[in-house]
Amino acid sequence: MAGSSADRGRAGSNRAALHAIDAIEPLKLRTGTPVWLGDGARGMSAAPLRADLKVDVAVIGGGISGALATDALLQAGLSVAVFDRLGFVRGSTPASTAMLQFEIDQPLITLGRRIGHARAARAWWRSASGVTRLRSRIADLGLRCDFRERHTAYLPGNLLDLAGLRSEAAARERIGLRSNLIDRHALMSLTGIDKPGAIWSAGSAEVNPVKLARGLWRSAAKRGAMLHAPVEIIDVAPGERWVTLTTDADCSISAGHVVLATGYSLTKLFKLPGYRIISTWAMATAPQPKALWPSRCLIWEASDPYLYCRTTRDGRVLAGGEDAAFEDDARRDALIATKVARIGRTLRGLLPQLDIAPAFAWAGCFGESASGLPAIGQVPGAPRCYAVMGFGGNGITFSAIAAEMIQRAILGLPDPDTDLFRLA
Ligand SMILES: Cc1cc2nc3c(=O)[nH]c(=O)nc-3n(C[C@H](O)[C@H](O)[C@H](O)COP(=O)(O)OP(=O)(O)OC[C@H]3O[C@@H](n4cnc5c(N)ncnc54)[C@H](O)[C@@H]3O)c2cc1C
């Protein structure tokens, strides 16, 4: 089945917006074995697509963004079919260190100077409510994904020194965010780190991203979502009432709406100004529960590039950073040993009691925007097509925001933050 001939005619005129999805060289999203895949857990099963299909919403992408969007669309009573060219939870999501932070990469005071203080406050608040939304969906669906609420410690660095952190903490407190400046003594007793102070915040969390995404997909399948893989969408043609998608096996899908949750491949489709793909590295140590810092908070630095670290349920330390502004995956992969050694040394500089030998090491790519904000919303020139892109260090939090915004857009409901994240 497909759209009407009027739809097909209209589709032709709109092809410039989204055509030739197949001409895009797929990005190698990650290399090495992320800690979450180390237990040999079985992957998600999904069926290939053998016939044409008609559905309310087609979601392209089987990662965390697609999973959260699908969950929200099912909640709205819509029929949903999902397609992934690799398989479900096989892209960037398993590479994630999955710190669920409300803190955006750009400090509130910096973002305020860039986009205005009222808009920056809205972005930070929306991010905080993104983490809250994730927590409540995980609880509502009863997902067992090692979710734990955590504080964060934001350490001084080359972007903000202690005086800068003081201004940042004051700006956050003024708009009611749960952050305050702590001194050297408090930081030492919470983390064992010897620095002059830090911003201490409540309201963040950690999770196992593979268990979370697989749990969401299993729940979606039980609630009627049609999951298809491996299926590559090679063409998206928006029409007046239907969007027509073509697959690599030449099936045709007619959808009332399309959600592009294709992760960092998307920036290759839409060359948005200010967005770029960068490379990043991460490692996990062996379990060492006795050596961990007392609060087990999430730790990151006001630096560029920054180091970040967290603990896992089984007592490992996960650390990442060393980001570099290139997307050449061969170069990125050749650097795994060097970059991970550097991450380990920086980690030991902060927490000398740790055994920093990597039990897992991996590399991935990251989408980054100049403002640190995501791009979520209707694709310009492509009615009924929505995209989720431009994620920085808190991509999963942004995926949760995107799910809510795209659900509202498809239902024709207003969202107060459409202007903040629009694709433009
Ligand atoms: C090392 C690392 C550490 C990170 N740490 C954090 C962190 O601590 N906290 C945080 O919030 N975020 C973090 N992130 C970012 C976070 O992991 C990502 O934002 C998130 O996983 C992106 O999910 P996604 O679903 O958008 O993309 P993906 O998981 O990549 O899923 C997209 C899917 O779309 C499919 N696809 C693409 N094109 C097509 C097509 N044409 N047809 C069919 N399928 C297609 C791909 O096969 C892929 O499976 C980290 C990322 C990395 C790499």
Ligand 1 contacts CB of residue 62 (under 6 A): yes
- pLDDT value at position 270? 67
The rounded Å distance from CA 361 to ligand 1 centre is 18
Residue at a domain's end among 326, 343, 369 = 369
109 located within any domain: no
- pLDDT value at position 42? 65
Ligand 1 contacts CB of residue 36 (under 6 A): no
The rounded Å distance from CA 58 to ligand 1 centre is 18
Q: What is the DSSP letter of 275?
A: E
The rounded Å distance from CA 391 to ligand 1 centre is 9
183 located within any domain: yes
Q: Are 388 and 402 contained in the same domain?
A: yes
Nearest atom of ligand 1 to the alpha carbon of 233: 42
Record the tokens describing residue 420, joined without a space. 């903040």
> Residue 92: what residue type?
S
User: For tokens 């920036």, what's the residue?
Assistant: 267
State yes or no: pLDDT of 276 exceeds 50. Answer: yes
Beta bridge partners of 387: 260, 377
- Look at strands 197-206 and 179-183 and give their pairing: antiparallel
CA 345 → CA 295, 322, 350, 358, 393, distances in Å?
Answer: 22, 12, 9, 11, 21
CB-based contact 224:371 (threshold 8 Å): no
Ligand 1 contacts CB of residue 63 (under 6 A): yes
Residue 405 — very low, low, confident or very high, per pLDDT cuts 50/70/90? very high
Residues in the chain: 424
Ligand 1 contacts CB of residue 282 (under 6 A): yes
Q: Are 13 and 162 contained in the same domain?
A: no
Quick: pLDDT tens for 353-388: 999 999 999 999 888 888 889 999 999 889 999 999
| Ligand 1 atom 33, closest CA | 61
Q: Are 246 and 263 contained in the same domain?
A: yes
State yes or no: pLDDT of 421 exceeds 90. Answer: yes
State yes or no: pLDDT of 69 exceeds 80. Answer: yes
Ligand 1 contacts CB of residue 84 (under 6 A): yes
The rounded Å distance from CA 240 to ligand 1 centre is 30
Q: Are 365 and 382 contained in the same domain?
A: no
Ligand 1 contacts CB of residue 332 (under 6 A): no
144 located within any domain: no
State yes or no: pLDDT of 159 exceeds 50. Answer: yes
- Cα distance between residue 403 and residue 56, in whole Å: 16
List b or e across 52-67, with b for residues whose CB sees 16 or more CB atoms inside 10 angstroms: ebbbebbbbbbbbbbb
Q: What is the pTM of this model?
A: 0.94
Ligand 1 contacts CB of residue 67 (under 6 A): no
1 located within any domain: no
> What's 199's domain CATH number?
3.30.9.10
> Residue 137: what residue type?
R
State yes or no: pLDDT of 243 exceeds 80. Answer: yes
Q: In the Cβ-directed half-sphere of 96, how many Cα atoms lie within 13 Å?
A: 31
- Cα distance between residue 165 and residue 66, in whole Å: 35
Q: Are 86 and 229 contained in the same domain?
A: yes
List b or e across 359-374, with b for residues whose CB sees 16 or more CB atoms inside 10 angstroms: ebbbbbbbbbbebbbb
- Cα distance between residue 60 and residue 250, in whole Å: 16
Q: Are 184 and 230 contained in the same domain?
A: no
Q: Are 191 and 281 contained in the same domain?
A: yes
Ligand 1 contacts CB of residue 83 (under 6 A): yes
Ligand 1 contacts CB of residue 177 (under 6 A): no
The rounded Å distance from CA 95 to ligand 1 centre is 8
State yes or no: pLDDT of 9 exceeds 70. Answer: no
Ligand 1 contacts CB of residue 65 (under 6 A): yes
Q: Are 48 and 65 contained in the same domain?
A: yes
- What is the share, in percent, of the chain residues with pLDDT greater than 70? 91
CB-based contact 298:393 (threshold 8 Å): no
CB neighbour list of residue 23: distance below 8 Å, 6 or more residues apart: none
- What is the share, in percent, of the chain residues with pLDDT greater than 90? 77
Count of the separate structural domains present in the chain: 2
Residue 148 — very low, low, confident or very high, per pLDDT cuts 50/70/90? very high
The rounded Å distance from CA 173 to ligand 1 centre is 32
- For the chain, report the end-to-end CA distance as a whole number of angstroms: 33
285 located within any domain: yes
- pLDDT value at position 10? 35
Ligand 1 contacts CB of residue 92 (under 6 A): yes
Ligand 1 contacts CB of residue 91 (under 6 A): yes
Ligand 1 contacts CB of residue 267 (under 6 A): no
Q: Are 384 and 348 contained in the same domain?
A: no
CB-based contact 229:87 (threshold 8 Å): yes
Ligand 1 contacts CB of residue 175 (under 6 A): no
State yes or no: pLDDT of 204 exceeds 50. Answer: yes
Quick: pLDDT tens for 38-66: 876 667 889 999 999 999 999 999 999 99
Nearest atom of ligand 1 to the alpha carbon of 93: 21
State yes or no: pLDDT of 206 exceeds 50. Answer: yes
Ligand 1 contacts CB of residue 262 (under 6 A): yes
Q: Which of 262, 309, 385 to mutate to test the pocket of ligand 1 (most atoms within 8 A of CB)?
A: 262
302 located within any domain: yes
CB neighbour list of residue 249: distance below 8 Å, 6 or more residues apart: 48, 49, 50, 231
> What's 391's domain CATH number?
3.50.50.60
Nearest atom of ligand 1 to the alpha carbon of 61: 34
| Ligand 1 atom 53, closest CA | 364
- pLDDT value at position 17? 45
Q: Are 406 and 385 contained in the same domain?
A: yes
- Cα distance between residue 404 and residue 389, in whole Å: 14
DSSP string, 302-339: SSSS--EEEE-TTS-EEEEEEEES---HHHHHHTHHHH
Q: What is the DSSP letter of 47?
A: B
Of 52-56, 242-246, 303-307, 372-376, least confident by mean pLDDT is 303-307
Quick: pLDDT tens for 111-144: 999 999 999 999 999 999 999 999 999 999 999 9
Residue at a domain's end among 335, 353, 369 = 369
Residue at a domain's end among 369, 385, 413 = 369
106 located within any domain: no
Domain that holds residue 326: 150-203+274-369
Q: Are 175 and 281 contained in the same domain?
A: yes
- Cα distance between residue 286 and residue 35, in whole Å: 10
Nearest atom of ligand 1 to the alpha carbon of 83: 43
Ligand 1 contacts CB of residue 258 (under 6 A): no
- pLDDT value at position 328? 83
CA 175 → CA 119, 172, 209, 223, 399, distances in Å?
Answer: 12, 5, 30, 39, 23
State yes or no: pLDDT of 14 exceeds 60. Answer: no
Record the tokens describing residue 310, joined without a space. 């967290």
43 located within any domain: yes
- pLDDT value at position 15? 42
Q: Are 278 and 348 contained in the same domain?
A: yes
